[in-house]
Amino acid sequence: MDGEACPVGWRPELTADERRRFGDPETIRRVLEEVKTIAVVGMSRDPAKPAHYVPAYLQRAGYRVIPVTPREGPILGEPTWPGLHDVPEKVDLALVFRPGPLCLPVAEAAIEAGIPRIWFQLGIPAEAAARRADEAGLTVVLDHCAMVEHRRRL
């Protein structure tokens, strides 16, 4: 289950500089070390989906995971929130599991909410959203799996 969520493959739409910045190993290390609270946008209740088992892994690893989804009711024992602006506490990272066309509004919401970091999970075509977040000064990770990157650093 763990390996299928996280095959690596860079998109040709990115410039060499963007590939370097959005996948920088030092940036990924810093994010994983500095972050305490993660808002997971698009979190799923289905344990077979990466949008569930990746955040579940991160929660077991000691991160506070806050589900952001329009579906009501707790996930992994945490209340859900319909949007980033609704989360009533400080968020260190927005971890995004949304289809590519829906990522730009998520980036805008993260910017408006003052979230300093955004991570677009592996396989999500979120180049425009990553660029927008980067322009706004957020730390951006694109096309990497948070679970795999965390395990790599254990």
Q: What is the pLDDT of residues 38-86, one digit of tens each?
A: 999 999 999 999 999 999 999 999 999 999 999 889 999 999 999 999 9
Q: Name the one residue in this structure whose structure tokens are 């500095």.
A: 34
Q: Which strands, in side-by-side order, build the sheet including 117-121?
A: 64-68, 37-41, 93-96, 117-121, 139-144
Residue indicated by tokens 């694109």: 142
Answer for the pair 77, 104: CB distance below 8 angstroms, yes or no: no
What's the token pair of residue 29?
């290390």
pLDDT exceeds 80 at position 13: no
Per-residue CA distances from 11 to 8, 22, 36, 86 (Å): 10, 12, 29, 32
The pLDDT, as a whole number, for residue 8 is 44
Tell me the mean pLDDT in the region 89-115.
97
User: Please, what is the angle between helix 127-135 and helix 103-113, to 10°?
Assistant: 20
CB 28 within 8 A of CB 144: yes
What is the predicted pLDDT for the residue at 7? 39
Checking if the pLDDT of 11 tops 60, the result is no
CB within 8 Å of 60: residues ≥ 6 apart: none
Question: Quick check: 130 pLDDT over 70?
Answer: yes
Name the percent of the chain lying above pLDDT 70: 92
Q: For the full predicted model, state whether its pTM sits above 0.75.
A: yes
CB atoms within 10 A of CB 153: 11
Q: Which helix (H) or strand (E) covers residue 139, if one does?
A: strand 139-144
Domain 21-93+101-152, classified CATH 3.40.50.720, yes or no: yes
The mean per-residue pLDDT over the stretch 111-129 comes to 96
